[in-house]
Amino acid sequence: MCGIVGYVGPKPALEVVVEGLARLEYRGYDSAGVAVLSDGKLQTEKRAGKLANLRAALQANPRSADGIGIGHTRWATHGAPTDGNAHPHVDEMNRVAVVHNGIIENFAQLRMELEERGCKFRSETDTEVVAHMLSEQLTEHNGDLGAAMRSVCRRLEGAFTLVAISEDDPGLVVAARRNSPLVVGRGNGENFLASDVAAFIAHTRDAIELGQDQVVELRADSITITDYDGAPAQVREYHVDWDASAAEKGGYDYFMLKEIAEQPRAIADTLLGRVAVDGTLTLDEMRLAPEELRQISKIVIVACGSSYHAGLIAKYAIEHWCRIPCEVEVASEFRYRDPILDPQTLVIAISQSGESMDTLMAVRYAREQQSRVLAICNVNGSTIPRESDGVLYTHAGPEVGVAATKTFLTQLVACYLVGLYLAQVRGLKFGDEINAIIGQLARMPEQVEKVLNTVQPVRDLARSLAEAKTVLFLGRHVGYPVAMEGALKLKELAYMHAEAFAAGELKHGPIALIEDGLPVVVVVPSREGRSVLHDKIVSNIQEIRARGARTIVIAEEGDESVRPYSDTLIEIPAVPTLLQPLVATVPLQVFACELALAKGNDVDQPRNLAKSVTVE
């Protein structure tokens, strides 16, 4: 949650910070604010609502700024999204300003201590506690903001990224992190801080991965990183391999539309370089030795949201190819139910951002139980890959729209690669079998492109359902998680009730929901790969249609057996059964996006949501 930007250098700080916030607004858009130094004096501006409100306020009240500033775009946790609760927060003397991502769990105790010392609070947030503590510690440490930040962090509990500036040292930005993302951008005579490299990618592609419990002191010509006790810290520097244009809309009205269209390329990029010269599958980022993987007796997949649905699909592929028991867990529930883990368990953590707090805490729990952990992630250098034994990056590029599209499909591809790699190292599939499946995967970008070129009827259908109150989704086998993903997209974007069921469960209760005119989307499995299930789901379609449902059927091209029972038939290319989610999901993405647009919703920034959930 929340987007943070910091800058120090020769450029106009306000412009740099606000531009960075615009690239991070997907992380939260309940409010936004900036703090700058002007002639050495601290000035702030903040507004509830989207960044446009802050821009209007800055335009109405122009100000000059020295080359230093911080900014914040908020997803509210403590305190309602109001002007007063927006960040930055300042101390009573307007001496120091701080922005914050995360939750300070012991803030109530700290606030009580401050109030007993006479401190007056102006907001409902946990963040304001830090501003007052920093002010006290600045006095204690003779204006040394770095020392003050280290001292404050030693008292804080929870997950946080903190960034601060102070009148005491007008050339310095100080930041700290614990369990919350923060990356440094190294420029030429200027330096940057942000929750995500997208904020500064237009200025530099050289980044520094800030480690756990570290403090960075940023000046225009220097970067100093220590731990909370002041000792020099080890860091990793890396180069970002995409540029600013990759995060721009590229002529599309919305990022989501662009990202749906980018899916063929994203799949191809995720597959790139995975096959060695000798034809074997090679995963360079794995870091888990074949000997370790041969000892695995159970796999547990942990994930949230769309990533959880990718994990459900992965279960079918992994168990089919590897014959290893595979469980799929909602990450937020995982560690609270006392799961059975041991050194022979492989935990696969799926997270687009690599910062999802629920998934991160599941990873840490698994490591405590001595299980092996493999991350599937889209963000290089993020926390979950760093804390895992291995990682498979999805190479989807930046995804700005809050609802997962191309990152979901590339997670599926990564899961297929993991399943095939496990089958290879455990000797369960011959090289020619693996190469055949890899060949099928290599053709998927073309098949997804074909779907994208034929979805205009889906858009028309979606607009016709703009007044619908609810939509049900049905599926079997891998089509069931696809149905779940379709329902989630509709909830996220159109703010309407949508629910997915395993089609075989209809007669066990859900069929009572069917009434005249109710739209029901049915994902039909392949006739070739799962003929028994295909016939059963055709029977399900007949059952709901007989009770008045409006049937919207997603089926393979040439599947004439479903046509008589389909009020609307959406045809997708015939592909192998386990790979069908790669093509079957795309019409559901378009359906949800178009229906939401017909309702007048912002599909890039759905209400109450943020791209990366960095609090539990």
Query: What are the boundaries of each domain within the chain?
Result: 3-247, 255-442, 452-598
Q: How far apart are CA 92 and CA 82, in angstroms?
A: 19
Angle 260-264-268 from CA coordinates, rounded to 5°: 140
Confidence of residue 61 (pLDDT cuts 50, 70, 90): confident
**Which is higher by pLDDT, 23 or 284?**
23
Q: What pLDDT, on a 0 to 100 scale, did the predictor assign at position 180?
A: 81
pLDDT at 248 over 80: no
Instruction: Name the residue among 381, 372, 408, 202 with its Cα closest to residue 297.
Output: 372
Same fold yes or no, 3-247 and 452-598: no
Q: What pLDDT, on a 0 to 100 scale, did the predictor assign at position 530?
A: 66
Residues 374-420 have pLDDT tens digits of 999 988 778 899 899 999 999 888 888 999 999 999 999 999 999 99
CATH 3.60.20.10 fits 3-247, yes or no: yes
Residues 326-380 have pLDDT tens digits of 999 999 999 998 899 999 999 999 999 999 999 999 999 999 999 999 999 988 7
Place of tokens 């006790």: 229
Q: What pLDDT, on a 0 to 100 scale, did the predictor assign at position 1?
A: 63
Catalytically annotated residue among 2, 119, 415, 593: 2
CATH 3.40.50.2300 fits 452-598, yes or no: no
Question: Would you tell me how many other CB atoms lie within 10 Å of the CB of residue 115?
Answer: 12
Q: How far apart are CA 474 and CA 481, in angstroms?
A: 9
Catalytically annotated residue among 406, 429, 489, 611: 611
- Over range 89-115, report the average pLDDT: 93
| pTM summary value | 0.78
pLDDT at 287 over 80: yes
Q: How far apart are CA 315 and CA 474, in angstroms?
A: 19
Among residues of the chain, what percentage have pLDDT more than 70?
Answer: 98
- Amino acid in the structure at residue 520: V
Residue 593 annotated among the catalytic residues of the structure: no
Q: What pLDDT, on a 0 to 100 scale, did the predictor assign at position 616?
A: 62
pLDDT at 306 over 80: yes
Residue 2 annotated among the catalytic residues of the structure: yes
Strands (DSSP E) contained in 365-496 are 372-377, 390-393, 470-475
Query: In the beta sheet, which residues pair with residue 160?
Result: 102, 178
Residues 543-557 have pLDDT tens digits of 999 999 999 999 999
Confidence of residue 246 (pLDDT cuts 50, 70, 90): low
If one looks up domain 255-442 in CATH, what number appears? 3.40.50.10490
- Over range 475-493, report the average pLDDT: 97
Residues 104-147 have pLDDT tens digits of 889 889 999 999 999 999 999 999 999 999 999 999 999 999 99
